[in-house]
Amino acid sequence: MFLLATKHYILYPYCSIITKGDYMQYPNNIKKIRNHTSISHSNRGMSLENLINMTNDYYIKKDIALIHKKPTPIGVVEVNYSNHKKLIKKAYFKEQSTLDYNGVYRGKYIEFDAKETLNKTAFPLANVHEHQIEQIDGVIKHGGIAFLIIKMNTFYYLLKGEDFLNFIQNTKRKSIPYSYIQDNAIIIKENYQPALNYLKIIDEIYFKGE
Protein backbone atom coordinates (compact mmCIF):
# COMPACT_ATOMS: atom_id res chain seq x y z
CA MET A 1 0.00 0.00 0.00
CA PHE A 2 1.35 3.42 -0.97
CA LEU A 3 1.18 6.81 0.70
CA LEU A 4 -1.41 8.84 -1.17
CA ALA A 5 -0.55 12.50 -1.63
CA THR A 6 -2.90 15.16 -2.98
CA LYS A 7 -2.84 18.94 -2.93
CA HIS A 8 -4.40 19.17 0.52
CA TYR A 9 -4.16 15.69 2.02
CA ILE A 10 -1.52 13.11 2.83
CA LEU A 11 -2.91 9.72 3.82
CA TYR A 12 -0.87 7.33 5.93
CA PRO A 13 -2.62 3.99 5.54
CA TYR A 14 -0.82 2.21 8.35
CA CYS A 15 -1.31 5.01 10.85
CA SER A 16 -4.77 6.43 10.14
CA ILE A 17 -3.29 9.93 10.06
CA ILE A 18 -4.55 12.66 7.78
CA THR A 19 -2.95 16.05 7.42
CA LYS A 20 -5.02 18.87 6.02
CA GLY A 21 -3.81 22.44 5.79
CA ASP A 22 -2.62 23.48 9.22
CA TYR A 23 -3.99 20.47 11.10
CA MET A 24 -2.77 16.96 11.70
CA GLN A 25 -5.71 14.63 12.40
CA TYR A 26 -4.82 11.64 14.58
CA PRO A 27 -7.00 8.65 15.49
CA ASN A 28 -9.89 9.39 17.90
CA ASN A 29 -10.24 12.92 16.48
CA ILE A 30 -7.15 14.28 18.21
CA LYS A 31 -6.04 17.54 16.64
CA LYS A 32 -2.73 19.31 16.89
CA ILE A 33 -2.39 22.64 15.16
CA ARG A 34 0.81 22.72 13.12
CA ASN A 35 1.10 26.34 11.91
CA HIS A 36 -0.49 29.78 11.78
CA THR A 37 -2.14 29.79 15.20
CA SER A 38 -2.38 33.31 16.57
CA ILE A 39 -1.11 33.31 20.13
CA SER A 40 0.18 36.74 21.01
CA HIS A 41 1.77 39.76 19.42
CA SER A 42 5.25 38.44 20.26
CA ASN A 43 4.63 34.85 19.14
CA ARG A 44 1.95 35.35 16.52
CA GLY A 45 1.83 32.46 14.04
CA MET A 46 3.56 30.00 16.35
CA SER A 47 1.95 26.64 17.07
CA LEU A 48 2.03 25.10 20.54
CA GLU A 49 4.59 22.57 19.36
CA ASN A 50 6.82 25.31 17.94
CA LEU A 51 6.61 27.32 21.14
CA ILE A 52 7.70 24.33 23.19
CA ASN A 53 10.48 23.46 20.76
CA MET A 54 11.77 27.05 20.88
CA THR A 55 11.60 26.97 24.67
CA ASN A 56 13.50 23.69 24.85
CA ASP A 57 16.19 25.08 22.53
CA TYR A 58 16.55 28.04 24.87
CA TYR A 59 16.86 25.74 27.90
CA ILE A 60 19.58 23.71 26.16
CA LYS A 61 21.56 26.76 24.98
CA LYS A 62 21.43 28.29 28.46
CA ASP A 63 22.31 24.92 30.06
CA ILE A 64 19.10 25.02 32.11
CA ALA A 65 17.71 21.62 31.13
CA LEU A 66 18.08 18.91 28.51
CA ILE A 67 14.64 18.24 27.06
CA HIS A 68 13.85 17.06 23.54
CA LYS A 69 10.88 16.09 21.42
CA LYS A 70 10.80 12.34 20.94
CA PRO A 71 11.17 11.13 17.35
CA THR A 72 8.23 9.14 16.02
CA PRO A 73 9.29 5.50 15.55
CA ILE A 74 8.70 4.83 11.84
CA GLY A 75 9.53 1.69 9.89
CA VAL A 76 10.51 2.38 6.28
CA VAL A 77 9.31 -0.21 3.76
CA GLU A 78 10.22 1.37 0.44
CA VAL A 79 12.04 4.49 -0.73
CA ASN A 80 12.52 6.39 -3.97
CA TYR A 81 15.67 8.25 -4.98
CA SER A 82 15.18 11.49 -6.87
CA ASN A 83 17.83 14.17 -7.49
CA HIS A 84 20.08 12.55 -4.90
CA LYS A 85 17.30 12.75 -2.32
CA LYS A 86 15.85 9.82 -0.43
CA LEU A 87 12.04 9.96 -0.43
CA ILE A 88 9.94 7.62 1.68
CA LYS A 89 7.35 5.82 -0.43
CA LYS A 90 6.01 3.31 2.09
CA ALA A 91 6.17 3.60 5.87
CA TYR A 92 4.35 2.65 9.04
CA PHE A 93 4.49 3.41 12.76
CA LYS A 94 6.57 0.68 14.39
CA GLU A 95 5.03 1.20 17.83
CA GLN A 96 2.82 3.54 19.79
CA SER A 97 4.51 6.73 20.86
CA THR A 98 4.40 7.56 24.58
CA LEU A 99 4.53 11.26 25.44
CA ASP A 100 5.83 14.02 23.17
CA TYR A 101 8.79 15.26 25.21
CA ASN A 102 11.28 13.91 27.72
CA GLY A 103 14.53 14.90 29.35
CA VAL A 104 16.29 15.84 32.58
CA TYR A 105 15.91 18.93 34.77
CA ARG A 106 17.62 19.51 38.11
CA GLY A 107 18.40 15.82 38.41
CA LYS A 108 14.81 14.74 37.75
CA TYR A 109 13.48 12.81 34.78
CA ILE A 110 10.71 14.76 33.00
CA GLU A 111 8.18 13.56 30.46
CA PHE A 112 5.16 15.46 29.16
CA ASP A 113 2.74 15.81 26.28
CA ALA A 114 1.35 18.87 24.50
CA LYS A 115 -2.38 18.83 23.85
CA GLU A 116 -4.92 21.24 22.44
CA THR A 117 -8.67 21.45 22.23
CA LEU A 118 -11.01 23.86 20.50
CA ASN A 119 -13.71 22.87 22.98
CA LYS A 120 -14.26 25.83 25.29
CA THR A 121 -16.01 24.01 28.13
CA ALA A 122 -14.13 20.70 28.52
CA PHE A 123 -10.96 18.86 27.55
CA PRO A 124 -11.88 15.53 25.84
CA LEU A 125 -10.13 12.57 27.43
CA ALA A 126 -10.03 10.96 23.98
CA ASN A 127 -7.10 13.32 23.40
CA VAL A 128 -5.00 11.15 25.72
CA HIS A 129 -4.54 7.51 24.76
CA GLU A 130 -4.53 4.63 27.23
CA HIS A 131 -0.83 3.93 26.73
CA GLN A 132 -0.08 7.60 27.45
CA ILE A 133 -2.05 7.42 30.69
CA GLU A 134 -0.05 4.34 31.66
CA GLN A 135 3.17 6.19 30.82
CA ILE A 136 2.23 9.14 33.03
CA ASP A 137 1.43 6.76 35.87
CA GLY A 138 4.69 4.84 35.38
CA VAL A 139 6.88 7.94 35.32
CA ILE A 140 5.35 9.20 38.57
CA LYS A 141 5.66 5.80 40.26
CA HIS A 142 9.36 5.73 39.45
CA GLY A 143 9.99 9.19 40.89
CA GLY A 144 9.87 11.23 37.68
CA ILE A 145 7.82 14.28 36.79
CA ALA A 146 4.97 13.88 34.29
CA PHE A 147 2.45 16.46 33.16
CA LEU A 148 0.36 17.82 30.30
CA ILE A 149 0.63 21.22 28.66
CA ILE A 150 -2.84 22.05 27.42
CA LYS A 151 -3.84 24.91 25.16
CA MET A 152 -7.48 25.80 25.82
CA ASN A 153 -9.40 29.05 25.39
CA THR A 154 -6.20 30.84 24.23
CA PHE A 155 -4.45 29.97 27.52
CA TYR A 156 -1.62 27.52 28.17
CA TYR A 157 -2.03 25.33 31.24
CA LEU A 158 0.34 22.95 32.97
CA LEU A 159 -1.64 20.12 34.52
CA LYS A 160 0.31 17.85 36.87
CA GLY A 161 0.21 14.18 36.03
CA GLU A 162 -0.98 13.47 39.57
CA ASP A 163 -4.01 15.77 39.15
CA PHE A 164 -4.77 14.33 35.72
CA LEU A 165 -4.68 10.75 37.06
CA ASN A 166 -6.72 11.73 40.11
CA PHE A 167 -9.49 13.02 37.84
CA ILE A 168 -9.72 10.00 35.55
CA GLN A 169 -9.46 7.54 38.45
CA ASN A 170 -12.32 9.15 40.36
CA THR A 171 -14.83 9.88 37.63
CA LYS A 172 -16.47 8.21 34.66
CA ARG A 173 -16.64 11.42 32.67
CA LYS A 174 -15.28 11.43 29.13
CA SER A 175 -13.91 14.95 29.42
CA ILE A 176 -12.29 17.21 32.01
CA PRO A 177 -14.45 20.28 32.75
CA TYR A 178 -12.72 23.57 32.08
CA SER A 179 -13.46 24.52 35.67
CA TYR A 180 -11.28 21.61 36.88
CA ILE A 181 -8.41 22.77 34.70
CA GLN A 182 -8.81 26.34 35.96
CA ASP A 183 -8.80 25.13 39.57
CA ASN A 184 -5.98 22.58 39.33
CA ALA A 185 -3.70 23.59 36.46
CA ILE A 186 -1.37 26.59 36.37
CA ILE A 187 -1.26 29.10 33.54
CA ILE A 188 2.06 29.29 31.70
CA LYS A 189 2.72 32.89 30.74
CA GLU A 190 4.16 33.67 27.33
CA ASN A 191 7.51 35.42 27.09
CA TYR A 192 9.98 36.53 24.48
CA GLN A 193 12.70 34.18 25.72
CA PRO A 194 11.89 31.51 26.64
CA ALA A 195 8.65 31.56 24.70
CA LEU A 196 6.71 29.30 27.06
CA ASN A 197 8.60 29.02 30.34
CA TYR A 198 6.98 25.87 31.73
CA LEU A 199 9.98 25.04 33.92
CA LYS A 200 9.17 28.06 36.06
CA ILE A 201 5.93 26.25 36.96
CA ILE A 202 7.85 23.02 37.61
CA ASP A 203 10.09 24.94 40.01
CA GLU A 204 7.05 26.25 41.89
CA ILE A 205 5.44 22.80 42.13
CA TYR A 206 8.32 20.39 42.69
CA PHE A 207 11.33 22.42 43.83
CA LYS A 208 9.76 25.06 46.06
CA GLY A 209 12.07 25.91 48.94
CA GLU A 210 15.17 24.34 47.42
- The more confident residue out of 202 and 82 is 202
91 pLDDT above the threshold of 70: no
Query: 4-206 — its CATH code?
Result: 3.40.1350.10
Percent of the chain with pLDDT over 70: 66
83 pLDDT above the threshold of 70: no
Cα within 13 Å of Cα(1), Cβ side: 9
Nearest to 123 by CA among 169, 170, 182: 182
pLDDT score for 5 = 43
Contact 154, 118 (CB under 8 A): no
Domain boundaries, the chain: 4-206
pLDDT score for 164 = 98
- Number of residues written out for the chain: 210
User: How far is 43 from 40, CA to CA, in rounded Å?
Assistant: 5
User: How far is 199 from 12, CA to CA, in rounded Å?
Assistant: 35
pLDDT score for 123 = 97
pLDDT score for 97 = 62
Residues 150-160 pLDDT 10s: 999 999 999 99
The DSSP call for residue 174 is: S
Residues 15-64 pLDDT 10s: 433 334 444 444 444 444 333 333 344 454 468 999 999 999 999 999 99
Please report, as a single letter, which amino acid is at residue 181: I
Residues 164-198 pLDDT 10s: 999 999 999 999 999 999 999 999 999 889 999 99
Element housing 59 (H / E): helix 48-61
Per DSSP, the three-state class of 9 is strand
- Span of 11-15, 83-87, 95-99, 140-144 with lowest mean pLDDT: 11-15
Please report, as a single letter, which amino acid is at residue 98: T
Contact 38, 52 (CB under 8 A): no
